[in-house]
Amino acid sequence: MVGHENSADGKRLVLEDAQLTLDNGSVLDTLTLAYRTYGTLNDDKSNAILICHALTGDHHPSGANPLTGRAGWWDNMVGPGKPVDTDRYFVICQNVIGGCAGSTGPSSQRADGTPYGLDFPVITIGDMVRAQNVLLDRLKIPDLFCVIGGSMGGMQVLQWAAAHGERVFSAIPIATAARHSSQNIAFHEVGRQAILADPDWHGGNYAAENTAPRKGLAVARMAAHITYLSEAALQRKFGRNLQDRDRLSYGFEADFQIESYLRHQGISFVDRFDANSYLYITRAMDYFDLAADFGGTLADAFANTKARFCVVSFTSDWLFPTSESISLVRALNAAGANVSFVEIESDKGHDAFLLDEPEMEQTIIGFLNAAAVARGLPLPEVSGAHND
Amino acid sequence: MVGHENSADGKRLVLEDAQLTLDNGSVLDTLTLAYRTYGTLNDDKSNAILICHALTGDHHPSGANPLTGRAGWWDNMVGPGKPVDTDRYFVICQNVIGGCAGSTGPSSQRADGTPYGLDFPVITIGDMVRAQNVLLDRLKIPDLFCVIGGSMGGMQVLQWAAAHGERVFSAIPIATAARHSSQNIAFHEVGRQAILADPDWHGGNYAAENTAPRKGLAVARMAAHITYLSEAALQRKFGRNLQDRDRLSYGFEADFQIESYLRHQGISFVDRFDANSYLYITRAMDYFDLAADFGGTLADAFANTKARFCVVSFTSDWLFPTSESISLVRALNAAGANVSFVEIESDKGHDAFLLDEPEMEQTIIGFLNAAAVARGLPLPEVSGAHND
């Protein structure tokens, strides 16, 4: 079976002779790409926006998400009349390869019916973007009006501009970096070691044992979740408030709301995410170092792109701090790129990019409208009061 | 057996009718306090300095540490002619109760010969300091010239000033806070859950099973260790340098130096620390909230102390950031205390208090000399060049 099919949780492109060569040298022949589209491609094929998701995201940024039973992960940002306006743009989102929401990953079955497990090749951000290029080719879309994403999604945005710059008219990397920092590798390694320490991981073959490393994955998620928030947000939301009690228990129950919240984050995560995918995707992020791919000079990564960039960071994001965005903006300027940069005041930490941040939304509306004019796309009709 | 004894790893005060009432209401009768002293108590008994250790410390701040085979954890700070000068002061350091370096804790044996395990009462910073008061009583030392410590040691310093202010002439809380923040509770909870997730934990009864939750404790230590360093220090020391290889492995080995370093930190920690002690001591830190103990107003905690304070923080410490020290200094000022405050420029993160930081050393030398003058203690003889 080759071609596009519709499924309950979006569309799938199934290729049995994909010949996708990966950075590690291996080739993926059988390739399934789970994706979802919103809106209508115009006759010029000039209004496509690709949304790139983050570590634990999927191809359902907007509308009901059949995988979680809740709204999509960027529902405030994407939809009719929203900043990424599906009334005006043809919006595509694809589950990354290595993931567990439908695209080929370590939990996918091989020809012999067994899941890859750790036989799945270690993939990179570059490989994820290659697979997105495959989808674009099959959709017969020559180039993207815009590619946008936060965190690991932002890494993909930068990879698009660097490796496939001729297909990118504009790019919005949010709360991201051109390379994963030592501290961020360290936090990922803690999460991986928590998974590997779980005897239910079984060397990655837990599916064959009809189990999963639930406790290890929950600990990994708990550690990671702290890094997505800011100290100020934790203090504001939870402080030292007690959970369902009026005094300390003098025990190891979840006395504090923050403990209860974290435990819930860990437990609910394992119901929706595959432990091996967590290993592979964190590894892909750790490996990301765009300057290293271009001889050590980040500006050289952007030498061949004509894309216009809008770089966004948040003041309280300590996982991908503003300093990383500034390094990126400097490199883009050195490459002569058209770049605007906004640091948004927020106490919500890294997660701010997923939340209702009016300044981020206004920034993206303004940037997309300017890019639309440059691209010759129609602007939305202005209603209401006007000057005579 | 009751009284002081010498052992290979310091001194022990063994009490069989200690009657130590804890904050949770239970009473510890049998009590062993492992401690070490340096220098000589003067005739006035006015030159005693108590050093309080941090989460994973012990009673060997200076000289050879028989537990680790290395130098004591504060060897740069404590010793003859050093800032805490054992030629001038009688220096005491006691392993905290709940610990695993000799003082009574969850791994201690009960009367029936079995270890406490989770039957050990949950202790607090207040309980640790009560046990230090027991030692001081038995040593017949009426009060302390100074009490000094960093991190959890600093919490004990503050607890001394608040609950036993009449016994404290001066106090040096370093890289600490008057309450454990929501974010810090969160990181501790991740570590505890990593231990509890390890099947070798056996509900805390791992000694009976002749095993230990080594993997869980290693993951806990890895997560904690990241919080002791700064992003800048990690970038400077490790960056994205590869470990013993010249290219990425496309696997899950420790490709990066930071991964190898963290794994080593985790593995070596489990050889010297007890997992249940880790649960109990992190809990004691989480419970610490000095203002809550005094009706919600931190200044009231210091209403009855005449101690002079020297508060020290480090610019890159994000675990106990300078803002916590400033809150403390404000409360001390509101209580009319004599307080000086120094924020030291360092990129070494929270761990800076354990490292060779000349400005910290000079600050402590100056503060102790001024306190010595106020206390009527002799100053060291000045040698070398002098003005005519």
What are the DSSP calls for A162-200, one per residue? HHSGGGBSEEEEES--SB--HHHHHHHHHHHHHHHT-GG
The two structure tokens encoding residue B50:
């108590």
B146 and B194, same structural domain?
Answer: no
Q: Which residue has the higher pLDDT, A378 or A105?
A: A105
Q: Which of B222, B256, B266 is the closest to A185 by Cβ?
A: B256
Q: Establish if B387 belongs to a structural domain.
A: no
* Residues A140 and A63 grouped into a single domain: yes
Query: Which pLDDT score, from 0 to 100, does residue B2 have?
Result: 56
Please give the structure tokens belonging to residue B16.
């069989």
Average pLDDT over residues A127-145: 98
pLDDT beneath 70, residues of chain B: 1-4, 7-8, 382-388
- Please name the member of B199, B254, B283 whose beta carbon is closest to the beta carbon of A252: B283
**Alpha-carbon gap, residue B193 to B215, rounded angstroms:** 12
Q: What sign results for the dihedral spanned by CA atoms B156, B161, B164, B168?
A: positive
A210/A159 same-domain check: no
Q: What is the pLDDT of residue A273?
A: 97
Considering CB atoms only, which of B190, B193, B262 is closest to A186?
B262
- Residue A243 is predicted with a pLDDT of 93
Phi, psi dihedral angles at A83 (to 5 degrees) = -50, -45
CB A38 within 8 A of CB A44: no
In this structure, are A64 and A148 located in the same domain? yes
Concatenating the DSSP letter of every residue in A82-105 gives SSEETTTSEEEEEPPTT-SSSSS-
Which CA distances in Å does A223 have to A200, A277, A335, B69, B316?
19, 17, 37, 32, 21
Does residue A383 belong to any structural domain of this protein? no
Whether residue B111 is found in the same domain as residue B12: yes
Q: Is B317 a catalytic residue?
A: yes
Whether B87 and B80 have beta carbons less than 8 Å apart is answered as yes
Looking at CA atoms only, how far is residue A333 from chain B in angstroms? 24
Secondary structure element (H or E) that encloses residue B6, with its range: strand B3-7
Check CB contact under 8 Å for B231 and A256: no
Report helix angle B182-197 to A257-270, nearest 10. 50
Host domain of residue A362: 3-181+291-375
From A110's Cα to the closest Cα of chain B, the distance in A is 20
> What pLDDT does residue B118 have?
97
E-assigned strands of B86-238?
Answer: 90-94, 146-150, 170-174
pLDDT, residue B68, reads 87
Give ∠ CA A127-A133-A137 in degrees, rounded to 5: 150
Sort out which chain B residues have CB atoms less than 8 A from A181's CB and list them: 231, 234-235
Please report where in the chains the tokens 């290029």 appear, as a residue: A133
- A175 & A321 share domain: yes
* Residue A68 banded pLDDT, cuts 50, 70, 90: confident
A185 and B252: CB-CB below 8 Å?
Answer: no
Which residues in chain A are contacts of B226 at CB distance < 8 A?
183, 186-187, 190
Is A240 part of any domain? yes
Indicate which CATH number applies to the domain containing B266: 1.10.1740.110
Of B57, B194, B184, which is closest to residue B128 (Cα–Cα)?
Answer: B57
The residue out of B246, B281, B316 marking a domain boundary is: B281
DSSP three-state, residue B50: strand
Handedness of CA B255, B261, B267, B270 (dihedral sign): negative
What pLDDT, on a 0 to 100 scale, did the predictor assign at position B382? 64
Domain edge (last residue) among A246, A281, A316 = A281
User: What is the structure's pLDDT at A158?
Assistant: 98
Q: How far apart are the first and last CA of chain B?
A: 61
Beta-carbon separation of B190 and A318 below 8 A: no
For residue B289, the chain A residues in CB contact (below 8 A) are: 240
Cβ distance of A240 and B292 shorter than 8 Å: yes
Long-range contact pairs involving A367-370 (C-beta distance under 8 Å, separation at least 24): A367/A170, A367/A172, A367/A310, A367/A340, A368/A83, A368/A84, A368/A85, A368/A146, A368/A170
Rounded distance, CA B155 to CA A352, Å?
Answer: 33
- Give the 3-state secondary structure percentages of chain A, helix then strand then coil, rounded to 5: 40, 20, 45
Counted across chains A and B, CB pairs separated by less than 8 A come out at 154
CA-wise closest residue to A287 among A178, A124, A74: A124
- Per the CB < 8 A criterion, the answer to whether B255 and B242 are in contact is yes
Nearest C-alpha in A relative to B184 = A231
Burial of B376 (0-12, 13-18, 19+ CB in 10 A): exposed
Give the largest Cα separation in chain B, rounded.
Answer: 73
What's CA A233's distance to the chain center, in Å?
22
Residues A66 and A166 in one domain: yes
Inter-chain CB proximity A219 and B258 less than 8 Å: no
Separation between Cα atoms, residue A198 and residue B194, nearest integer Å? 10
Q: Choose the mutation target among A27, A125, A228, A240 for the interface with B, i.e. most B CBs under 10 Å.
A: A240
ipTM over 0.85: yes
| Chain B residues with beta carbon closer than 8 angstroms to that of A223 | 187, 190, 223
CA proximity to B301, closest of B332, B323, B322, B325: B332
Asked whether A325 and A312 are in contact (CB, 8 A), the reply is: yes
User: Distance between the two ends of chain A, CA-based, in angstroms?
Assistant: 61
Do A154 and A189 share a domain, yes or no?
Answer: no
Q: Do A263 and B292 touch (CB under 8 A)?
A: no
Closest-CA residue of B relative to A221 is: B190
Residues of chain B with Cβ-Cβ distance to A317 below 8 Å are: none
d(CA A301, CA A135): 23
3-state secondary structure of A115: strand
Long-range (24+ apart) CB contacts under 8 A made by A68-72 are: A68/A272
Please report the pLDDT score of residue A10 as a whole number. 82
| Dist. CA B374–CA B170, nearest whole Å | 10
Considering the domain architecture, whether residues B121 and B249 belong to the same structural domain is answered as: no
- Work out the burial of residue B89: count CB atoms within 10 Å of its CB; fewer than 13 is exposed, 13-18 middle, 19 or more buried: buried
Q: What residue has token string 């206390």?
A: B375
Total of domains in chain A: 2
Q: How far is B89 from chain A (nearest CA, A)?
A: 37
At B12, give phi and psi (nearest 5°): -135, 135
Q: What is the pLDDT of residue B388?
A: 44
Answer yes or no: is pLDDT of A290 > 50: yes
B336 lies in the same domain as B353: yes
Q: Are residues B322 and B250 in the same domain?
A: no
Q: Is residue B383 part of a domain?
A: no
The CATH number that applies at residue A92 is 3.40.50.1820
Residue B258 lies inside a defined structural domain of this protein: yes
- Quote the pLDDT of residue A279: 98
Domain boundary among B254, B281, B308: B281
Q: What percent of chain A has pLDDT over 90?
A: 91
Q: What pLDDT, on a 0 to 100 scale, did the predictor assign at position B8?
A: 63
Q: How far is B294 from chain A (nearest CA, A)?
A: 15
- For chain B, the residue count is 388
Alpha helices (runs of H) in chain A, residue ranges in sequence order: 125-138, 152-163, 182-196, 214-228, 231-237, 257-270, 275-287, 290-293, 298-301, 322-334, 358-375
Residue B122 to residue A189, Cβ atoms within 8 A: no
**Residues 6 or more apart whose Cβ sits within 8 Å of residue B383:** none
Helix A182-196 vs helix A275-287: crossing angle, to nearest 10: 160
A42 with A166, same domain? Answer: yes
Q: Token pair of B164, please? A: 């036993």
The tens digit of pLDDT for each residue in A322-363 reads 999 999 999 999 999 999 999 999 999 999 999 999 999 999
A68, exposed or middle or buried, with CB in 10 Å at 0-12, 13-18, 19+?
middle
* pLDDT single digits (tens) A232-264: 999 999 999 999 898 999 999 999 999 999 999
> Does the residue B254 lie in any domain?
yes
A19-63 pLDDT tens trace:
999 999 999 989 999 999 999 999 999 999 999 999 999 999 999
The Cα–Cα gap between A99 and A306 comes to 30
Q: Over the stretch B250-282, which tens digit does the pLDDT of each residue have?
A: 999 999 999 999 999 999 999 999 999 999 999
DSSP B369: H
Per-residue pLDDT at B3? 67
What's the CA gap between B216 and B206, in Å, rounded?
13
In a domain, residue A40? The reply is yes
**Domain assignment of residue B386, yes or no:** no
Interface test with B, best of A122, A179, A190 (most B CBs within 10 A): A190
Closest CA to A74 of A314, A340, A352: A352
What chain A residue is nearest to B261 in terms of C-alpha separation? A186
- Under 8 Å CB-to-CB from B313, ≥6 apart: which residues? B174, B175, B320, B321, B322, B324, B325, B341, B342, B343, B344
Q: Which of B239, B252, B283 sits opposite A283 (nearest CB)?
A: B252
